[in-house]
Every structure is written in structure tokens, then in C-alpha cells.
Amino acid sequence: MRLALVMTLLLAASAARAQTTEIQTARSSAMGGAFRAMAYDNSAVDLNPAGMAQIKKADFAASYLRSVEDPATYAIMVAIADSLTNNGATGFAFEYRKVKIKVPGGTTLNAETQRYVTAGAYPIVPQYLSAGFSGKYVQSKVTGEKGKKIFSSDFGLHSRPVQMLSISAGFDNLINGGEPEAPRTITAGAALLPFRWLAVSGDVWQDLATDPDEDHLGWAAGAQWSPFQQIALRGGVYEEAVAEEFRERIWTAGFGLLSETGSIDYAMRLTDKDSETLSHHVTVSVLVF
């Protein structure tokens, strides 16, 4: 009973406010997480592995995310993806996430999660269609409870039928998909890129595992505007796939400073009620070669 209470509180505090369980960069976070169809940075390793094959590059990214309300709630991520030295693409990502939660009675619980993801992608039809597969290991621990270890996997597709349109589809957590840390989910995304300086994207995902009697449809929408070659401005909004009593609309915003050798990206999240800032997220990306 206590474990069920803890997990409910964790879902309420982290799922509704933490922007999905996938590992993301600040670039993706600033667009509300609506990045599955774009997936041209290291977010693709976990969001949509098929997206890694669309751009020929090899880069490394490191991120830090911190809650404004409670500095003891934070996440650290590192990821590397390589689609330059082979016909397909490979990637690895790791995230350590810590959440501090106050429960009724004044008790404080600490939840720690470690996520390891390895992914590969291959262009079925070069420049038009690619498929990707990932394996993941999730280790979580809540104060006073026995830790959990979960093995799972994702499958994704990415297509760019025309230059201005990019689409994606995926099935997350094919194995052991009944866990709150890795729910079995169907995902889809689309992005319009009518100009070099503008991108508009949207994602939807349906949680199939948590509670069949509840509506667990999540969605995200985002946009990126690049008025200059070295600057990108981003914004977005999303709602998580959680029960109605925990559902909250979150707005996001951020920017990127771009160069030929890498980028620095920043994202922030705000509530839709009082525009209170929830978190800051910074990612530094470097082209390996």
C-alpha cells in the first residue's frame, strides 16, 4: 500500500511536471518535447532512434536540468550519436534524475532514477525512410523501498517524404512496458519545415499500460525560429499522458547559440496558471568530427 502511494505521488509530482520519461536535450525541451519528427540532435537516441540516421554527423552532448522550486530535484544527462562513420547510426545516452517529494505527514522522500539507452538506426530508403531500435535499462530507487531494475526497448520510424515535411511513428517499451518508469506507449509526430529559418512540430503519445480506464493521451507542440544563422528562438506547450487530476499544461521557451562546431541551448518551463518558472535546462553540444 505504501509503495502504491509513493508511486502515485511520484507520478503526480514528476510525470506531470517532468516532460515525459525520455532523455531530452534543452533544444527539445524548449519546443515542449515535440521533437520526435525533427530528432536531429542527441534527443533522438531516446525520443526516436530512427531520427539519428537523417543527418550525417557525430556529436556529444551534456545537459543539466534543475527545478526552481526545489534545487534538490535535478537531472544530469550525457549522450553521443554517430551517423557519420557508418552506413547507419549508433547512439548512447545516460541520465541521472533525482526528485525530492514531500508527502502528507511531513515526510520527505527521495526518488532516484538512472537510465541507460543504446540505439541504432538504418536508412531503409536513404534520405526518405529510416528505422531505429533501442535497448534501455532503468534503475529506480525510492527512500525506504526496494529498488527496481527494468529492461525495455523502443522501435521507431522516421520519414521525410518531401523536403518541407518530416514524420515519425514509434512503439516505446515493447518489453516490460507495464512499469510507471517505462510505460508501453504508441507515439507519432510531424514537423513542417517550410523555410530554413522556421520549423513547427507536434507530437502525440498514448500510454497503453498505466490504467485502461483513464485517458492517458499526451501531446506537445513547438516551434523554432532562426532569425540569424547563429541564433535560434524556441517555444512550446505540452500536456503529459497522466490522469485528469494530475494533468497540467506546461509552457516552454528557450534559445540556442549555434556554431559550426557545436551549440549551447537553454530551456525553461512555466505553469499555465501563474507563469511560475518550474525548471531551467542547459545543454552543451560539440561536434566530435
> In the chain, where do the E strands start and end?
58-67, 74-82, 89-103, 107-125, 129-142, 148-162, 165-172, 178-179, 182-183, 185-195, 198-207, 217-228, 231-239, 249-259, 262-271, 277-287
Among 177, 210, 200, smallest CA distance to 12 is for 210
- In the chain, the percentage of residues whose pLDDT exceeds 70 is 89
**Percentage of the residues of the chain whose pLDDT score is greater than 90:** 64
Residues 37 and 205: their CA atoms lie apart, in Å, by: 13
Of 52-66, 98-112, 138-152, 174-188, the range with the lowest mean pLDDT is 98-112
* DSSP strand pairing (182-183 vs 185-195): unpaired
Tell me what pLDDT residue 261 has: 93
- The upper half-sphere exposure of residue 212, i.e. CA atoms within 13 Å in the direction of its Cβ, equals 1
Burial class (CB in 10 A: 0-12, 13-18, 19+), 125: exposed
How confident is the model at residue 263, as a pLDDT? 97
27-44 per-position pLDDT tens digit: 999 999 999 999 889 999
- The three-state secondary structure class of 240 is coil
pLDDT of amino acid 219 = 95
pLDDT score recorded for residue 20: 56
C-alpha cell of residue 82? 554517430
| Cα–Cα separations (whole angstroms), residue 83 to 24, 65, 162 | 18, 26, 21
Q: What is the mean pLDDT of residues 245-255?
A: 89
pLDDT tens digits for range 275-284: 788 999 999 9
Neighbours of 257 (CB within 10 A): 12
Grid coordinates in use for 161? 517524404
Residue 131's pLDDT band, with cuts at 50, 70 and 90, is: very high
Tell me, rounded to whole angstroms, the distance of Cα 257 from its chain centroid.
20
Q: 58-70: buried (b, 16+ CB within 10 Å) or exposed (e) per residue? A: bbbbbbebbbeee
Tell me: pLDDT of 112 over 70. yes
Domains of the chain: 2-287 (2.40.160.60)
Q: What is the pLDDT of residues 260-270, one digit of tens each?
A: 999 999 999 99
Predicted confidence at residue 213, as pLDDT, reads 64
The predicted-structure confidence for 161-216, as pLDDT tens digits, reads as follows 999 999 999 999 999 887 777 889 999 999 999 999 999 999 999 988 766 666 67
The model's pTM = 0.90
Q: Which residues pair with 263 in a beta bridge?
A: 258, 285
CA separation, residue 159 to residues 28, 50, 203, 248 (Å): 19, 9, 15, 31
- Is residue 56 predicted with pLDDT exceeding 50? yes
14, pLDDT greater than 60: no
Q: How far apart are CA 10 and CA 94, in angstroms?
A: 21
**pLDDT per residue as tens digits for the range 73-106:** 999 999 999 999 888 999 999 999 998 877 666 6
Q: Which residues contact 253 (CB under 8 A, 6 or more apart)?
A: 30, 234, 235, 236, 267, 268, 270
**127-131, 159-163, 220-224, 241-245: range with lowest mean pLDDT:** 241-245
CA–CA gap between residue 148 and residue 179 (Å, rounded): 10
pLDDT band at residue 16 under the 50/70/90 scheme: very low
Whether the per-residue pLDDT at 13 is higher than 50: the answer is no
Q: Where are the alpha helices (DSSP H) in the chain?
A: 2-10, 26-30, 44-47
Looking at residue 11, what is its pLDDT? Answer: 45
- Average pLDDT of the residues in 228-240: 95
Contact yes or no for 154/45 (Cβ under 8 A): no
